[in-house]
Amino acid sequence: MTWSTADIPDLTGRRALVTGATSGLGYETALELLRHGADVIVAARNPEKAARVAETLTQKGGRAPTVLELDLADLVSVQRAAEEVGSTYDRLDLLINNAGVMATPYRQTVDGFELQLGTNHLGHFALTGRLLPLLLTGSRVVTVSSFMHKTVRGISEDDLRRPAGTYRKWEAYGKSKLANLLFTLELDRRVRAAGAELLSVGAHPGYAATQLQIAGPELAGNVRRARFAGAATRLVAQSAAAGAWPSLYAATYADLRPGSYVGPGFFEYRGRPKVVLPTRTAQDPELAQRLWAWSVEATGVNPVLTVLR
């Protein structure tokens, strides 16, 4: 695979929304989309930080993005953001579900869900569902997972509201990334069954240097561990720009098949993007259907039945 960002086509006239675009993979993804002519909506929890980042993106990308306030750990915020987008635009060409938290100490979302599953999966599930009317025009949804989905063997409804006493941060992270893939593939199945013009695909960055590695220790108040994690990551990981390649490939490669999953080419660790395989668990349609039902009940959003019926 010799793909590079130079192979991204002209995106003039295309509108993209990128979650978590103020740093790391999301920032690099938004930057390349801007450089190739797209109109980019930068969705982020902190509007002040997002405004500052938007200035940098404008300078480096040659185009000014739009800032959208979005807290994926708050379903009311998700609804407000989706309504703002829906009242402003008549379509979205690309939704990149990128934002996430990793290996955090035990926390709950505003709505009482375990933070990692609540943010990484349920927030994006609700956002995608609410934006779906704008996406059924030959658009793409790219949901970012992780090779850490391989570390868990399943997921249950209890995981969504797992209590602190049984919480294990890396297991919860792996399950949230498994949920991302189960959602990606189930969305693909459902939109194809409905005859909708939407491509649902997944991506993962391999091991890339981002703020995620230090955010968990910082949230736990462990400054020493955060510094060690940052130093170790910078030593062995590929750059955030390289980590964004699979997302960009998934978002823009013309001949990508529905339900594809894209990761780095070198043992899925680093390098140029290629289509890779999820685990059997991630490809389990029955588990995906159960997760979908749990997610509908948890969020009050039904992306298929309320939009595609």
Specify whether 145 is catalytic: yes
Provide the residue type at 73 as one letter.
Answer: A
- 3-state class (DSSP) for residue 3: coil
Provide the residue type at 5 as one letter.
Answer: T
- pLDDT value of residue 235: 47
Query: For the CA atoms of 138, 144, 148, 153, what is the dihedral angle to 10 degrees?
Result: -40
**8 A C-beta contact, residue 129 and residue 183:** no
Tally of residues, the chain = 309
Average of per-residue pLDDT across 255-267: 92
171 CB-contact burial (10 Å; exposed 0-12 / middle 13-18 / buried 19+): middle
User: In this structure, what token pair is assigned to residue 7?
Assistant: 């192979």
Helix (H) or strand (E) holding 245: helix 245-252
pTM given for the model: 0.90
Q: Which of 145, 146, 247, 260 is catalytic?
A: 145
Q: Which of 27, 139, 146, 173 is catalytic?
A: 173
**Pairing mode, strands 270-275 and 261-266:** antiparallel
Q: What is the average pLDDT value for the chain, to the nearest integer?
A: 91
Q: What share of the chain is helix, strand, coil (3-state, %, to 5)?
A: 50, 15, 35
Q: Which range among 7-11, 27-31, 130-134, 223-227 shows the weakest confidence by mean pLDDT?
A: 223-227
- pLDDT value of residue 292: 98
- pLDDT value of residue 208: 75
**pLDDT tens-place string over residues 206-257:** 987 655 544 545 455 654 553 444 444 554 568 999 999 999 999 999 999 9
Specify whether 150 is catalytic: no
Other CB atoms within a 10 A radius of the CB of residue 115 amount to 20
User: In this structure, what token pair is assigned to residue 85?
Assistant: 């987008």
Average of per-residue pLDDT across 32-58: 97
Specify whether 89 is catalytic: no
Q: Which of 77, 146, 177, 253 is catalytic?
A: 177
**pLDDT tens-place string over residues 71-118:** 999 999 999 999 999 999 999 999 999 999 999 999 999 999 999 999
Complete domains list, the chain, with CATH: 5-206+240-298 (3.40.50.720)
